[in-house]
Structure 1
Amino acid sequence: MSLIVGAYPAQPEDFTQRQFFEAIAQIPAIRGLEVPYRATGGDPWPAGAPAGWSAVVTAIPGTMQRVGLDRHFGLASVDPDGRRAAIDFTAGVREYVTGLRDQGHQVEAVALHSAPPWRGAAPAFAESLAEILDWDWSGTSLVVEHCDAPRQGRDPEKGFLSIQAEVDVVRSLKDRGYGIGMLVNWARSVIETRQSRTASEHIAYARDAGVLSGLMFSGCSGEATEFGYPWVDAHLPAVEVDGAPVSSLLNAREIARCLRSAGELPITGFKVGLPQNAVSAEERASLLRQMCALIADNVAAGRS
């Protein structure tokens, strides 16, 4: 198994960034990067990252930035202007994908999301996705990444559509011949219920519906940590990684359980932030290497 790595929350923001990407380029398990598309556009291909690596583009940074400016913004919005703004935003994502391809990078997939918080509806989401899927994506797949849905009596991190609603939308589009799937992010599922088992439940639900296309490991904690408040979606490392909060709920056992449940998928990977004391580029790369090993070791154990 080779991995897609969301390295952007872990990368240094200074002149050592090239050194960081050159270091993680030496990790054999990595085949590509999850790269962010923000409200102002997509990040350039990182200096030092191999040109031969592929990419998965995530629209979540820009989606949340735009939601912060307009509570009606989103592909699932029942507000026509908010939905149209999100479709136009996604057109920018497609242009970014075209630009990466023109630079010689394979773009495996684009991850889209069922914003806005609280104000989304499955029919609106289905209509938006059908329009978007009719565009020419030049072989790039589209996936819906599930984020936490609202729960009574608590403030959500994202508050998008339920896994059931998203799976129904994706399955109906697949039945109509569209190429689309679901991606489960471990932390974003766990944050929804505050129960670790939810990630594997969501994986099984999407798998049994025939729509599971991806699995990304990212941790969370029910306690305040240096990463933020309890249940923040801040990409905590697995607890076995050096310097990870001891309260991180992501661990080798959960990784193994989810990998068994998911089976072989087009996209498997992880996205983590790093502790504040992970200062140097070499230290940061070493911690990503530990995350790679946790996943690879569990894959090897499952095959033995």
Structure 2
Amino acid sequence: MSLIVGAYPAQPAGSQQEFYRGLATVPAVRGLELPYGPHGGSPWPAGAPAEWSAVVTSIPGTMQRLNASAAFGLASVDAAGRRKALDFAAGLHAYVLRLKDEGRQVEAVELHSAPHPGADVAMFRASLSEILEWDWGTTRVLVEHCDAPRPGNKPEKGFLPFADEVDVVRALREQSGGRAGLVINWARSVIETRNPDTAAQHIALAREAGVLAGVMFSGCSPDATEFGYPWIDAHLPAVEVDGAPPSSLLNRAEIERCLAAAGAVPVTGFKVGLPREGLTVQDRVDRLRQMCALIGGS
């Protein structure tokens, strides 16, 4: 199985070219999840093979813009906040076109149904419909589910409920020519209910609805760890990976269960964080190699 790797939370503060050259020795990796931040996207990472493809995630920029303005989001009922989010998405679109002009293959982009509170399903559908009118070529436009509000729990993201996102994507599949889809991040589904069963359930429901387009694996923990407070969305490695917190709920069995629930999907991969200091470049590459092996890559 070939994988998309969100390597940016694992890269060192320096020696990034050496890091990506090391990651290129892992045969299972076919591409990178690249972050699109509040001020745009980064250049293609030095050391990453030119033939690798990309999936661009808007979550870093979405969260930073949302932290600065509570009304920001593609699902916002505030007209100005929704327009700012659409302008942000237009910048992401321009970044994708720039990568393509450089000869990169961009498999997909990942969008999110902010804000919290106040995400509205009708506004999100209107925004996504507008975005799908832009020329994306063969690039898929995917909604990445983040945890929705739940009674008694403080949300990490608090965006639209899963069922609402499924309905929006399903309604727009024809308009998109089949390019719209839903991607499930293991931790973000589990954080919502604090139950590891939720990720596999979301995957199965999205597949049944005909909108499942991707599965990304990140871990989470019910306990405080070096990554932060309990249930933080900080991309913990699977428990079998060297140095992972022993309380990480992501493990080989959960990965296998979710892969079976998903079947064949266009995008499969993972995103894990590692400490910025205290690990060699080879340590980092080895830990990402271990994650690849858990997901079925070599």
Distance (whole Å) between structure 2 residues aligned to residue 276 and residue 69 of structure 1: 25
Distance (whole Å) between structure 2 residues aligned to residue 129 and residue 154 of structure 1: 28
Aligned-residue Cα RMSD (Å) equals 1.2
For the pair 1:126 / 2:139, whether they are aligned, the reply is no
1:183/1:213 contact within 8 Å kept: yes
1:278/1:284 contact within 8 Å kept: no
Alignment correspondent of 2:220: 220
Alignment correspondent of 1:76: 75
Alignment correspondent of 1:244: 244
TM-score by length of 2: 0.98
Distance (whole Å) between structure 2 residues aligned to residue 23 and residue 194 of structure 1: 35
1:244/1:275 contact within 8 Å kept: no
Distance (whole Å) between structure 2 residues aligned to residue 209 and residue 20 of structure 1: 39
State how 1:50-129 maps to structure 2 within 5 Å: 50-129=49-128
Against the structure 1 CA distance between its residues 239 and 276, is the aligned structure 2 distance closer, same or farther, given a 3 Å change threshold?
Answer: farther
2:12/2:276 contact within 8 Å kept: no
115-124 vs 168-177, greater mean Cα deviation: 168-177
What code does the residue aligned with 1:240 have? E
Distance (whole Å) between structure 2 residues aligned to residue 266 and residue 83 of structure 1: 29
Distance (whole Å) between structure 1 residues aligned to residue 234 and residue 110 of structure 2: 18
For the pair 1:174 / 2:169, whether they are aligned, the reply is no
State how 1:173-192 maps to structure 2 within 5 Å: 173-178=172-177, 179-192=179-192
Distance (whole Å) between structure 1 residues aligned to residue 23 and residue 114 of structure 2: 33
Distance (whole Å) between structure 1 residues aligned to residue 280 and residue 101 of structure 2: 33
Tell me how far 1:256 sits from its aligned partner.
0.3
Tell me how far 1:176 sits from its aligned partner.
4.0
Tell me how far 1:104 sits from its aligned partner.
1.0
Alignment correspondent of 2:265: 265
Gapped regions of structure 1 (runs ≥ 5): none
Other structure's SS at 2:296 match: helix
TM-score by length of 1: 0.96
Distance (whole Å) between structure 1 residues aligned to residue 233 and residue 117 of structure 2: 17
What code does the residue aligned with 1:214 have? G
What code does the residue aligned with 1:235 have? H
2:241/2:290 contact within 8 Å kept: yes
Tell me how far 1:13 sits from its aligned partner.
1.5
Q: Percent identity?
A: 63
